[in-house]
Structure 1
């Protein structure tokens, strides 16, 4: 059967199968039934049709009773990288952008670059399957090299996409910029206990950030209070320690000791700097210096 002869509803289900295989490494008939509230027979037809259209993309594992991705998988649908990353960030795993042509009147700032979607897919598969991957990574300090990492989260810091992972080379949890990964290969075997997300102290620690209108750069602080929905002239947000530096940089929060950053771009000031010295990536925070 040709894809143009398939109705819209079934194309959606086929795109979902393609998406699940690509980013989790497997799909089950029951997942299709629950996602689309369809019958067993319809889900079976969808899987059979996908197998007919993309025979080299999946195989049935009789032990686990699920369809698993083949090593030579190639996405059957064209998943737009930017839209797909947004879907992943918001846990929307349907792949619907691969079909429909609805245009919504919404614009977002353009990013300078987006990661290779197949690299993201392999990392996502490793997360779902609790496995390590070998990556070729280019860092600013040491250039290109090979290392094994155990990823647990993919992060959009507002400027770039990162993967949070345990690095077996440095023996610690670190962030890796996705666009600097040029190759990712899944490794066999399950990751070890000390490599999993629960052991990532900075990731599991939450820090309260007290933000106020900048005391020197803002002439009318009420405007900033309205912008951010502040109460009594301040707002308190909780952030993962591992992400704190990224967030403060993204929001241009002045983190200097005495609100010393004299520029109109700094409209917010961190009012409780003394409480966050143990957070991660604080070198990225504007004006931050260790106490």
Structure 2
């Protein structure tokens, strides 16, 4: 696509409303990833009448006339050979939409757009637990909850939840623990009957701004494992040119979880072996000071042999 066409598209998109842009994005998605677009796709998704859907498709054709053609055999629009997506589409959102739909279905009755398979999640919090935690995060409130940990057994805690964190095999809550007087990670499946504390004042030292591990951002340089038998395959998987490193920015509070999830060899001498270790952390010292660094595969604290206790 030439520069003039690119600029013309950008100018036209700048003039549309946010709701129009959402509908144009849906039209673009259908053409790009499913290879077909019907007027009903717009009416069903947005609750618009046929006339409004026709106007949206006409607007799309006006902005990107080279993107679609009408297949008269079944009255459906299809992407042309010259198709170039009108908008950027996030890979994560695309995969979610393809596997679970755009909010179609209710409860657990998701409707995938294409045939797909996703891993079964073995551990999910109860909605009666998740709801008050989410409200507390949104409103900056504390909760009182029963909590059972490997270290302390069952206790009553007052927590100030800061964020939900997905570490791959489960979710946890980053929160200030008033019992211990520090920021820690808590597993919601181990909580019982959390209650929002409407009248409990949250102090500044209990907020996300005071959580040094949460605020600190670490840049990790990941490279193909030096002992991998097919480094060119690793470079293909991660879109790396020869000699290039994959640079990832993560919160210090989450670094150990993420490196374990990605199976990154974090040993200084890249000694870990196995097909799961496709990547190596070029500078293990970049993890120094991260509270859960020892969760990273092969990591050794240069100044301590302390092991993180189970939560």
**1:247: Cα distance to partner?**
0.5
User: What is the match of residue 72 of structure 2?
Assistant: none
Matched, 1:211 2:212: no
Equivalent in the alignment of 2:160: 150
Residues 184 and 248 from structure 1, CA distance in 2 versus in 1: closer, same or farther, beyond 3 angstroms? same
Q: 1:132 to 1:247 in 2, by over 3 A?
A: same
Superposition deviation, residue 260 in structure 1: 1.0
Residue 106 of structure 1 aligns to a residue in which SS?
coil
| Partner Cα separation in structure 2 for residue 200 and residue 96 of structure 1 | 39
CA contact (8 A) 1:136 1:144 kept: yes
CA contact (8 A) 1:225 1:234 kept: no
Is 1:234 aligned to residue 216 of structure 2?
no
Structure-2 residue corresponding to 1:52: none
Contact 2:132 2:195 in 1 (8 A): yes
Say yes or no: does 1:196 pair with 2:207: yes
Distance 1:289 1:264 in 2: 21
Structure 2 CA distance for aligned equivalents of residues 102 and 247 of structure 1: 30
Residue 101 of structure 1, CA deviation: 5.8
Matching residue within 116, 122, 142 for 2:132:
122
Number of aligned residue pairs = 203
Partner of 1:60: none
Structure whose alpha-carbon radius of gyration is higher: 2
In structure 1, distance between residues paired with 2:167 and 2:235: 24
Residues 99 and 222 of structure 1: is their aligned pair in 2 closer, same or farther, counting only changes over 3 Å?
A: closer
Shift of 1:124: 0.5
Q: State the Cα deviation string for residues 101-151 of structure 1 (Å, max 9, x = none).
A: 633333221121211111010100111221100111111111111010000
Unaligned runs of 5+ in 1: 1-35, 39-85
Q: Secondary structure at the match of 1:202?
A: helix
Tell me the equivalent position of 1:285: 296
Instruction: Give the CA deviation at 1:37.
Output: 11
User: Could you state the TM-score of these two structures normalised by the residue count of structure 2?
Assistant: 0.61
Contact 1:158 1:250 in 2 (8 A): yes
Shift of residue 279 of structure 1? 1.5
The residue that corresponds to 2:179 in the other structure is: 169
Describe how 1:1-291 pairs up with structure 2 within 5 A: 97-98=106-107, 102-104=111-113, 105-189=115-199, 190-216=201-227, 218-231=228-241, 232-291=243-302
- Name the CA distance, whole Å, in 2 between partners of 1:96 and 1:127: 27
CA distance in 2, matches of 1:101, 1:256: 42
TM-score (norm: length of structure 1)? 0.65
Q: Residue in 2 aligned with 1:45?
A: none
Change (3 A) 1:242 1:182: same
The CA deviation at 1:185 is 1.1
